[in-house]
């Protein structure tokens, strides 16, 4: 698509139009539409439930569940977000150009979540297939009961990393000194380095070296109940 064919950016002011009207406009927009959302003021559920391949730039801080249940859209938040950003995302891309509160990417089934700063506790809890890249550090219980997908952490991981994890792969460049139940360090083979390199490139960090990361995953001892 040439510059002449690029759709213009439509500005939606939350102070003037209100959250419901703005979200309705975004939810009903056709593929290819572009929006700038202004005056977010920490409101909850901004750009939630989007179903088409649109681009949304949120200029400021957002509250809980920003870009939740996303399908196909690209949502960029130029600020911090509260609890549950990209919660239950199915596809698309969500970028946080700041820090994220608890439960970032919780239960997400697909798509890519990129957090440029830190993410708080329970990042990727019950992950079901999405990819999460955090360029800072993460809080406790990141990857708790994570089932499928990948979590990449550039900084340090808080206590109980990967507690009760299933088949999600976690890559950590910083310190991960306190692993949760059934989470263990695993070998980094060529297939994992290639997988990680692709994730780093997709997250806008192609120069990061996969060799600097360690892999963590399930020891698979909790899959079945063990009789005493």
Taking a C-beta distance cutoff of 8 angstroms, is the pair 96, 80 a contact?
Answer: yes
Query: Looking at residues 51-63, what average pLDDT do you find?
Result: 98
CATH no. of 3-218 = 2.160.20.60
Global pTM exceeds 0.85: yes
**Taking all residues of the chain, what is their mean pLDDT, rounded to a whole number?**
96
Structure tokens at 17: 């139009």
Query: Looking at residues 86-92, what average pLDDT do you find?
Result: 98
HEC per residue, 60-113: CCCCCCCCCCCCCCEEEECCCECCCCCCCCCCCEEEECCCECCCCCCCCCCCEE
Banded model confidence at residue 7, pLDDT cuts 50, 70, 90: confident
Query: Cα–Cα distance between 210 and 52 in angstroms, integer?
Result: 33
Residue spans per domain, the chain:
3-218
């Amino acid at each position: 698509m040439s510059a002449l064919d690029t759709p213009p950016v439509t500005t939606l002011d939350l102070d003037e139009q209100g959250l419901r009207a703005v979200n309705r406009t975004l939810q009903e927009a056709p593929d290819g539409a572009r929006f700038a959302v202004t005056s977010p003021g920490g409101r909850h559920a901004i750009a939630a439930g989007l179903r088409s391949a649109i681009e949304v730039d949120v200029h400021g801080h957002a509250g809980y569940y920003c870009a939740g249940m996303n399908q196909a859209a690209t949502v960029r938040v130029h600020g911090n977000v509260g609890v549950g950003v990209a919660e239950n995302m199915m596809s698309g891309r969500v970028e946080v150009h700041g820090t994220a509160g608890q439960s970032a990417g919780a239960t997400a089934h697909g798509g890519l979540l990129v957090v440029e700063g830190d993410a708080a506790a329970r990042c990727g809890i019950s992950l079901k297939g999405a990819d999460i890249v955090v360029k800072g550090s993460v809080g406790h219980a990141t990857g708790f009961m994570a089932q499928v997908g990948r979590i990449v952490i550039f900084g340090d991981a808080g206590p109980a990393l990967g507690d009760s994890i299933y088949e999600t792969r976690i890559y950590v460049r910083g310190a991960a000194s306190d692993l949760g139940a059934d989470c263990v360090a695993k070998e980094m083979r060529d297939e994992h380095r290639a997988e990680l390199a692709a994730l780093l490139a997709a997250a806008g960090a192609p120069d990061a070296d996969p060799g600097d990361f360690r892999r963590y995953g399930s020891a698979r001892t909790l899959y079945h109940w063990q009789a005493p």
